[in-house]
Amino acid sequence: MFRNIGCTGGIACGKSQVQRMLEARGIPVLDTDRVAHQVMEPGSGVFDRIVQQFGCGILQEGQIHRPSLGRIVFSDEAQLKRLNQLVHPEVARRWRAWQSEQSGLNVVVIPLLFEVGVSEHFDGILCISATEALMRERLRSRGLSEESVEQRMAAQWPVADKMKRSTWNVRNNQSLTHLEQQVEDWLKLIQPEQGNVDV
């Protein structure tokens, strides 16, 4: 049996939806985006280092204003790298501690799993994907401009590359019902085996 599962995928591909489906079935899931929000809260060393790096202009009512920070880092690859270097080590420390406490099947959702090079910490990788056209459409529906959409897409590996490196692939191109059926199929399938498996 696989135990420690990493979940990744492209932006706006449905990782949060899959997380909710897994949690509804009693599977422990840790969302590292949520952990990143926590480590960036005031009072943490990470918060202080981010403000020192990017200036007080990213603050709003004493909190890091993520849209303001996003405008800086998604338009400058070097700045995005600096932010990741400040945030990712603490996030990794926390998800590894959480993972060590789990006794059975568990899933850690890491959008940049391959980009930050942590795939070896997992027994298998589940990739949630969608067509690039759908990804862009979903991002636009969130109110992002075309420029912001392209910046966020460019900040990650192409989803096709993530799919090639993953153990299992779930494609979120249709309805929620179809996505849920794929999650069900994946849960039935999960067992020791090698190579890529398309659900």
CATH number, position 90: 3.40.50.300
Do 69 and 127 fall within a single domain?
A: no
User: Would you say residue 29 has pLDDT above 60?
Assistant: yes
Which one-letter DSSP state was computed for residue 26?
A: T
Q: Which of 7-21, 84-98, 144-158 has the lowest mean pLDDT?
A: 144-158
User: Is residue 19 a contact partner of residue 31, using CB atoms and an 8 Å limit?
Assistant: yes
Residues 91 and 128 in one domain: no
Residues 44 and 81 in one domain: yes
Q: What is the pLDDT of residue 198?
A: 55
Q: Nearest CA to 70 among 156, 153, 152?
A: 152
Collect all residues with Cβ–Cβ distance below 8 Å to 79 and sequence separation of at least 6: 54, 72, 73
Q: Are residues 20 and 79 in the same domain?
A: no
Query: Is residue 51 located within the same domain as residue 80?
Result: yes
Q: pLDDT tens across 43-56, in order?
A: 989 999 999 999 99
What integer pLDDT is reported at residue 194 of this predicted model?
38
Please report the sign of the dihedral spanned by the C-alpha atoms of residue 93, residue 96, residue 100, residue 104: positive
CA distance 172 to 55: 38
Residues 23 and 112 in one domain: yes
pLDDT at 192 over 70: no
Kindly report the CA angle at 122 between 10 and 8, in degrees rounded to 5? 10
In the predicted structure, residue 186 carries a pLDDT above the cut 80 = yes
Mean pLDDT score of the chain: 93
Residue 182 domain boundaries: 1-28+105-199
Question: Residue 4 forms beta bridges with which residues?
Answer: 106
Whether pLDDT at 143 is above 70: yes
With 60 as the cut, is the pLDDT of residue 139 above it?
A: yes
Contact call for residues 179 and 33 (beta carbons, < 8 A): no
Same-domain check for residues 111 and 183? yes
Reported as a pLDDT band with limits 50, 70 and 90, residue 199 is low
The torsion of the CA quartet 68, 72, 77, 79, rounded to 10 degrees, works out to: -100
At residue 2, the pLDDT reads: 86
pLDDT, mean of residues 159-187: 96
For residues 113 and 155, the model is more confident at 113
Both 21 and 42 in a single domain?
Answer: no
**Averaged pLDDT for residues 2-6:** 94
d(CA 4, CA 122): 5
The secondary element (H helix, E strand) that includes residue 156 is none
Residue 73 CB contacts under 8 Å (≥ 6 apart), including other chains = 79, 80, 82, 83
